[in-house]
Amino acid sequence: MLVSVYIFLLLEILVVSYFDIKTRKISNNWSIFNVVIFILLLFFFSDIYDLSWGTFFYSICFFFVGFLLFTIKIMGGGDAKLLASLYLLIPPKLQEESFIALIYSTLLIGGGLLLYKLWIQRSAFKLAFITQDFRRIKDLLGKKFPFSPVVLLAWLVWGISHYFKLNFL
């Protein structure tokens, strides 16, 4: 992968994460910006980027799965659109590796937050579970958390493992 693309995406995800944590929103401008950059990459790096199915597979999956997760209030719409547009910029040969890092980061952070909430409010969860008060369980789990920091962690882990040939993914 082009190191410049990796660094560009690292900086972008860092900025997006900051604003996502601060405002709990991801602007559509980031997705539009990524599509414009993708079009430029098609012209300047046509040996790496093309208009094949493989280039769009993860982006399309993130868009539709993200929309489904948005409708059931698990993920924000901005997160799904950002991921879909980010995967346009990752060369197709490396998309699977970065996706695996994203899965690990999601499980680690999302699972960790879930276990933390379950532990802290264990008696309330127990009562809600016994009484089958599913609305209370949902309330105890809380709102969505900003997902872009998870993407940032995944991108950092993937980049370190990829560029330094470390095998922890």
Q: pLDDT in tens for each of the 169 residues of the chain?
A: 578 888 999 999 999 999 999 998 999 999 999 999 999 999 998 888 889 888 999 999 999 998 988 887 778 889 999 999 999 999 998 899 899 999 999 889 888 888 888 898 889 888 988 898 888 887 877 766 788 888 988 998 888 887 777 665 5
Q: How far apart are CA 32 and CA 100, in angstroms?
A: 25
Global pTM reads 0.81
Residue 37, Ramachandran bin (φ over 0: left; ψ between -120 and 50: alpha; else beta): alpha
Other C-beta atoms closer than 10 Å to the C-beta of 36 total 11
Where along the chain do its domains lie? 3-163
Give per-residue burial for 57-84: e unless 16+ CB within 10 Å, then b. Answer: ebbeebbeebeebbeeeebbebbbbbbb
